[in-house]
Amino acid sequence: MKTTLRLTVLLVLALGVLPSLLRGQDASKGPRLITVSGEAEVRVVPTEVSLRFRIQTKAKTLAQAKTEHDGRMKKVQAVLRNAEIEAKDTQTIDLTMGPDYEEIKDKSVLVGYEVSQSLSVLLRDLSKYEALMAGLLEAGVNRVEGVDFRAGEMRKYNDEARVLAVRAAREKAALLAGELNQKLGRPHSITEENPNQDYPKQYANVSTNVFGFASSVAAGDATISGGQLVVRAKVSVRFELQD
């Protein structure tokens, strides 16, 4: 009786362990994978430029500061119209009015009032860039906060770079697999990474000499070049290996 009971218990334990062993064997027979990365870049000539600039006006009284500021803004708007920039491509980022203090002998002293306005403008014709900048500075813009060259169809170029990156990954995987006498199977997974993008130099918080800039434009000298945008894509792909 004891012998029969012992055999029954052992049999139950064996049956309980067997599925676990089988699962372990199945796991060891999973797909053999190779992981590779692919990178690509597409160079694009900029077609437009986004400008961010600020007009700051200071005076003894707030009314005087606002009057002078409004006069500058009218001149700026005239320059934008001459450059054929549409209203939809012009945006006021911020507008502030308030007292202007200076530190004098470790004390904040009221010296007047200030009106400050920041604008963003999209110029779609790069041939007008130099003349536009000179005109804005002469009209009263006293701070250029950013110059950002870009292309009008960035989504198109991003997708093109992605396709080239996937092709590069496939070619690399096929080469490595071939050296091991293996064939490349179907893709198992793909992950897109975020590579660094190279853009033409952006200018932030630039103090520009108005007369020097205007003189260079009048002489026909180009001061800033749009250069090229470098759109990059990077992917990581896992392929199955086949004998």
pLDDT value at residue 232: 94
Calpha distance 154→231 (Å, rounded):
8
Each domain of the chain, given as residue ranges in start order, spans 31-47+152-201+226-243, 48-150
Token output for 102: 């200076």
Token output for 44: 């694009």
| Residue whose C-alpha is closest to residue 96's, from 57, 140, 68 | 57
Q: Helix or strand or coil: residue 199?
A: coil
Q: Helix or strand or coil: residue 9?
A: helix
pLDDT above 90: residue 70: yes
Looking at domain 48-150, its CATH architecture is 2-Layer Sandwich (3.30)
Looking at domain 31-47+152-201+226-243, its CATH architecture is 2-Layer Sandwich (3.30)
Summarised one tens digit per residue, pLDDT across range 93-110 is 999 999 999 998 889 999
Average pLDDT value for residue range 180-196: 91
Phi (first) and psi of residue 223, to 5 degrees: -100, -30
When the pLDDT of each residue in the chain is averaged and rounded to a whole number, the result is: 82
